[in-house]
A and B are shown apart, each in its own frame.
Chain A
Amino acid sequence: MSEELAIHASGLVKSYGDVRVLDSLDLRVPRGSVFALLGPNGAGKTTTVRILATLSRPDAGQAWVAGFDVVRDRPRVRRRISLTGQFAALDEGQTGEENLRMMGALARLPRTAARRRAAELLEQFDLTAAGRRRVSTYSGGMRRRLDLAASLVARPEVIFLDEPSTGLDLPSRQTMWHVIEGLAASGVTVFLTTQYLEEADRLADQIAVLDGGRLVAQGTAAELKRRVGTRRLDLACVSAQAWAEVAGRCGDRAVHLDEASLTVGVPTDGSAAQVRALLDEADPGRRLIASFVVREATLDDVFLTLTGTAKETTRV
């Protein structure tokens, strides 16, 4: 593997019972970059993070983090990474400062160094005032910040963040984004998972889209948007028969199929030329489509476009 990669995974497979959660996953994350693994619930994001953070073993395939094999060199990998999961890894009964000092002691920092590091992190995460309060009194956003601070005590090279902003309100989410941007600027490698396209767009240098345990796309935010189209053209058909015909013509490109409202949705950039061309293509005889609407693409559209199948879905 290359020295330039902080994370390199090749052919990762993981099943739980009969369910194949990861199906031959390959990842390459350059050192010092921010990488977002984007996908809906159940796509395999958490499983990927757990394997890379040495908490779970892959059934097949290999992965290296910070230059070491995640299965054979667990202790070495663990000294160089940190993991912040979806559930706060904190003791509710200890104060913020006590939690950080405990992490320092576990990271083998001497007592005074652990105390200094705790004070530093409380300051950095705007928690100095709350440092002497028990975590049980913290708000969701404060808890998440302290959790992230706790993961940084030992100055890891690679930071895994599993859905860092899920469940946070908008102001807390924005604070979290500032914090992650700050980390990225300090030169560490950040690997985060998210369900939010906006989050990946704002934070990540590279985005990989995971669906059903497979990578369905990878690239910069701009590249993905170009592929996906930022808007959706919804075609309302005149009858069920017309709807079926239009859906057939759009084929794999259809990201939205709703028989009840007789609509078919396809990605578009919203330009007159493209909309005209799409209308002509879907309805060359000009008798199947009654009306159309151009709307902003949702995350569903992105996934559906990238997975290439317009399946009925209730994802949020």
Chain B
Amino acid sequence: MSSALTMTARSLRLATRSPDALLTALLLPVMLMVVFVYLFGGAVRIGTSYVSYVVPGVLLLCAVIGAASTAVTVCQDMTGGIIDRFRSMNVPGTAILAGHVAASLLRNIASTLLVIAVAFGIGFRPHATPARFAAALVVLLLFVVAVSWLAAAFGLLVSSAEAAGGAMFLFMFFSYASSAFVPVRTLPWWLRGFAAHQPATPVTETIRGLLLREPVGAHLGIALAWCAGLLAVSVAVSVFAFRRRTA
């Protein structure tokens, strides 16, 4: 446990030491939100204010961008000399990976708060009670943890940091092909089935429902099931891949 804390502090410190990556992680979601609200927003007719509709989607996008960088940091560790030092010091692989995931969670909390603050500035007015607001954050952060572990598994399975960077594009595709930015019914028919049945949609719908004080219905249960499933599979794959790479 204490090694995991040390590894978390390390990952956070390293994140602050590469300002370009940190800026990307913080500014990219904010810029995308501005782009969606002001550039595309005028063309989207969904019956409610688009900024309120899209902010939950931007929060999801922000989460996957932040979590995806875990793939790169994990891959860099595995391909550098430091992994041998950690192993020869008896640091468990799970502590190393958990440190990366915990740091990702903390980074994401910062970027989520930033996105929410900017969202308020450009007219986002959720009508949620504090309890619903908190519940939305919990679901979002659970999703961040699951996707961070998925990214860690990705980083362990690829052999270079460049390839690990591909995780972000893969994850972003899932965010776009969902109800994050436009309702699923407006998508081409062949994409609707996929969009409705992949994790980004129920997670977005849950957060949106909680924040906008609308009924979340079955989305909450499906979102939690996706997060739990992703988490379980990703942790298992990570542990397996770590063992295989360090055999």
Interface residues of A (CB under 8 A from B): 50, 53-57, 74-75, 78-79, 81-83, 85-91, 93-94, 98, 102-103, 105-108, 134, 150-151, 154
Whether B85 is near chain A, meaning CB under 8 Å from some CB there, is yes
Whether B88 is near chain A, meaning CB under 8 Å from some CB there, is yes
Whether B82 is near chain A, meaning CB under 8 Å from some CB there, is yes
Interface residues of B (CB under 8 A from A): 2-3, 6, 9-10, 13-14, 17-18, 80-91, 246-247
Partner of B89 from the list A57, A87, A88, A103 (CB cut-off 8 Å) is A103
Can you list 21 A-B contacts with CB-CB less than 8 angstroms, sorted by A residue number? A55-B84, A55-B87, A57-B247, A78-B90, A79-B90, A82-B88, A83-B84, A86-B81, A87-B80, A87-B81, A89-B83, A89-B84, A89-B85, A91-B82, A93-B14, A93-B17, A102-B6, A102-B9, A105-B6, A108-B2, A134-B17
Task: State whether A78 touches B17 (Cβ < 8 A).
Answer: no
Contacts of A103 in B (CB 8 A): 85, 89
Contacts of A82 in B (CB 8 A): 88-89
* Nearest 8 A/B pairs, CB to CB: A87-B81, A89-B85, A93-B17, A78-B90, A89-B81, A105-B6, A83-B88, A89-B82
List the A residue with the shortest CB-CB distance to B5. Answer: A105
Instruction: Please give the distance in Å from A142's CB to the nearest CB on chain B.
Output: 16
Task: State whether A106 touches B88 (Cβ < 8 A).
Answer: no
Contacts of B13 in A (CB 8 A): 93-94, 98
List the A residue with the shortest CB-CB distance to B246. Answer: A55
Task: State whether A102 touches B10 (Cβ < 8 A).
Answer: yes
Task: Give bound CA distance, A79 to B87, whole Å.
Answer: 11
Residues A78 and B89 in contact in the complex (CB < 8 Å), given A57-B247, A89-B81, A91-B14:
yes
Contacts of A74 in B (CB 8 A): 90
Contacts of A87 in B (CB 8 A): 80-81
Task: State whether B85 touches A151 (Cβ < 8 A).
Answer: yes
Task: State whether A94 touches B89 (Cβ < 8 A).
Answer: no
Residues A91 and B10 in contact in the complex (CB < 8 Å), given A55-B246, A79-B90, A83-B88:
yes
